[in-house]
Every structure is written in C-alpha cells, then in structure tokens.
Amino acid sequence: MAVLGLLVWRLGSGPFLAGLRMIDAWALAAALLVGAATIVACAWRWRLVARGLGLHLPLHTAVADCYRAVLINSTLPGGVLGDVDRAVGHGRERGDVGRGIRAVVWERSAGQVVQCALAVGLLWALPSPVRPYMPRIAAAVGGGVLVVALLALVAGRRGPRVWRRAVQTARKDVRTVLMARRIWPGVVLFSAVAVGGHLVTFLVAARTAGLTAPAAQLLPLTLLALLAMGVPANVGGFGPREGVAAWAFGAAGLTAAQGVATATVYGVLVLVSSLPGVAVLLFRRRAVAS
C-alpha cells in the first residue's frame, strides 16, 4: 500500500485510470486464453512434483485448484494465500498435509528458479536499465545461492535436530523428485511455458495501454516488473509491480506513467483470467453443503 500511495502522490490517479479505461474486449479475451494455458502449465508442474512425492493428483483437480489459488492470490494481500490453501487442501485430501505443503513449495520454488534463470539471461542479452549491472547481479545471486547451500550443509550436520531433519528431507526431495529424470525436464518445460504466459499477458497489457515500443524493448521491462511481483508485500497483486514498472519504464526512455498504466492493466487482466476460479469456489461450496 505504501508503494501505491507514493505513486499516486507523485503521478496522481491519472495513469491508473487511463489504463483501466483502455481495456477492451480483445484484451480480456486474450487474457482468458493465455491465462488458461498458463494455469494448465502450472497444474502439470504441480502434478509432476506431487507424483514424485507419492501423492496422487488428477490434472482436472490440479487445474481447478490452481484457478482458485490464482483468484485468491489476486484478491487478497500477500499473493501466496491461494497457494497455501491448495497445499493444505491437497494434503488433507491425501492424508498427508506435510507432503502436500512440500509439493507446492517445491513446485513454486522450481518455477521461481526457472523464472530467475530466464530473467538473468534475457536481461543480460537485451538492452535494459539494469544491463550494465548484470555481471554484479549474477555474481550476487550466485554468491547468495552458495551461502544458502553452505548454511544448509552446516545445519544438516551440526544444527538442532529439527533443522537436521528438515535439511535431510529437503535434500532427499531435491535428489529424488526435482532432479529425477522423469520429472525435471517437465518441470523446466512447464515453468518456461508459465513464464511465457505471464510475459505475453504483460505485453498485451502494454499494447492495451497504448505503448507502441518494440517488444524487444518492453520484454526486459516486463521481466523486472514480474520479478517484483515475487515480493509478498502486495494487495491483490498491486504494489511493488507498479513501483518497479514506473522506475523501469522511466529509466528506459519511456515514462513512469506508461509503466504504471501497463502494470495496472496487467493486474486487471490477471484478475480476469482467474475468474473461472469463482466457479470452482461456488462448486466446492455447494459440494460441501450437500
């Protein structure tokens, strides 16, 4: 909320309202279609990881739960409550909440790793405000991964018993699930498809907001805004995304107002793409009532 308040104070409500006014039927239809492909990719990724952990998860159930999760993430603070809901719900259905939570944690983590890898590669290759700093950013990311790995190694050997068990479980999951030959290629593929869906939706939002800049210029700005969405400090998805978009678009020679308008349209399109989740919620409520 602080980010949104600062943007409204600096830019006024004009960029937000302008973006909303420019949304048309074509953009909404594109959001629904691209959103469906993205949801199915995420559901397949979740299904692969869950199966690796020994949990049965039909594809239609995974798709329905992912739609519901995206709807919750798009309407409630934090942006992760929908994933918590599907993790606990699936775990309860299968009689093992712990494994249900681990399946979603590893599925989401794998998606974030693939997204970060793609972002580093594309931001390094394409012109962007952060391109001159990419060698240092890549070194910092690599150093952070190394530190986490070393801390996990130490905790697994000398830490408290609960830490040792957690690290041992995590190492086993990574080795037998995420690194398994029958699982990791699909996880990488479906994660890349999901990232592509988010990028396409953001580009649709940019065109809807009236931007005519080449896709090669918009793509790295889109990646920066999507990375900001990973910060669990938003309300209904809005917050850091708009702030980073305003900065990135302004630094790239466009305007901060265009960045805010694009990010606002993107948020609305994602919300629209999640609307089938309403049907899932109503169906589940009727099923429980009966």
Q: How many Cβ atoms are within 10 Å of 124's Cβ, its own excluded?
A: 15
Residue 86 burial (C-beta neighbours within 10 Å; 0-12, 13-18, 19+): buried
Q: Average pLDDT, stretch 200-213?
A: 89
Q: What is the structure's pLDDT at 21?
A: 72
Compute the distance between CA of residue 119 and CA of residue 121 in angstroms, rounded to an integer. Answer: 5
pLDDT band at 14 (very low <50, low <70, confident <90, very high): low
Phi and psi torsions of 235, nearest 5°: -125, 110
Most confident range, picked from 57-66, 115-124, 127-136, 170-179:
57-66
For residue 153, pLDDT over 80 is answered with no
Most confident range, picked from 10-24, 71-85, 104-118, 240-254:
104-118
Q: What is the pLDDT of residues 241-286, one digit of tens each?
A: 777 888 888 888 888 888 888 888 888 898 889 888 887 777 765 5
Where is pLDDT greater, at 68 or 155? 68
> In this structure, are residues 273 and 34 in contact, taking their beta carbons and an 8 Å threshold?
yes
Where is pLDDT greater, at 41 or 119? 41
Q: What is the structure's pLDDT at 5?
A: 42
107: nearest Cα among 178, 38, 37: 178
Q: What is the pLDDT of residues 221-231, one digit of tens each?
A: 888 888 877 66
For residue 55, pLDDT over 90 is answered with yes
| Least confident residue range of 12-16, 155-159, 166-170, 249-253 | 12-16
What is the average pLDDT score of the chain? 82
Amino acid at the residue 63: V
Per-domain boundaries in the chain: 2-289
Q: What is the structure's pLDDT at 8?
A: 45
> In this structure, are residues 82 and 128 in contact, taking their beta carbons and an 8 Å threshold?
no
